[in-house]
Amino acid sequence: MALLNMKKDFLLTFVLLGIVALAIPTHVMSQSGVADIVTAAFFDGIKNQAAADCSGKSFYTRDAFINAANSFPQFGSGSADEAKREIAAFFAHVTHETGHLCYVEEINKSNNYCDQGNTQYPCVAGKSYYGRGPMQITWNYNYGAAGQAIGFDGLNSPETVANDPVISFKTALWFWMTNVHSVVNQGFGATIQKINGALECNGKQPALVQARIGYYTDYCQKFGVSPGENLSC
């Protein structure tokens, strides 16, 4: 009787596991899938186009990106093709913003990007909130909100984004997931609009828009996925 009950329990467990397995959608990309797409060859292929003396060549690493991406499980989610398009879009903008992962900080540091009217994330005296990191995050309210979400003092120590490569990528991914992720499936043009639309879109700086599109379509080709429609803004 005990053996019979054991067999029944085994069969019940097997059936339940089968039901659970069937309930999990096989088309959803995991974070290991992000690592599979962003190979060392792909990442270094971007960085190797930067000049030898670029500070980003030693600062930005694939390991730092993968480490940061693990904190954002919705990044690169969806179907395999959707994941590839989102990752291609992210790195297209990163390539454009940093000059192929060359720049860690904005070249022109004359603007401290302090919005005095923002009382939720007030500027700290002596601190500047110019562009830093893969997405060149700017403004006190972005540093404050990113720091709060990620776990660093973005207002008092904005330089952390230029000193810690994992925090740097986390900040870029925070900005992406907060502002861009929701429009990725509307086409690459929608991501340009979210990142720098006020300065580039609607014919304002078509050469910059085309540069971003060029990187995106190149990375889509490398990933073996169609770039989709609505590429421009």
Give the residue numbers marked as catalytic.
Answer: 97
Question: What SS3 state is found at 105?
Answer: strand
DSSP 66-84: HHHHTT-TTTT-SSHHHHH
Place of tokens 């060392």: 40
Q: The dihedral of CA 129, 131, 137, 139: what is its sign?
A: positive
CB atoms within 10 A of CB 65: 25
Are the CB atoms for 61 and 165 separated by under 8 Å? yes
| Helices and strands: H and E segment counts in the chain | 11, 0
In whole angstroms, give the CA distance from residue 155 to residue 148: 10
The letter for the amino acid at 71 is S
In 14-46, which positions are buried (b, 16+ CB within 10 angstroms) versus exposed (e)? eeeeeeeeeeeeeeebebebbbebbeeebbeeb
Contact 188, 219 (CB under 8 A): no
> Are 63 and 53 in contact, with CB atoms under 8 Å apart?
no
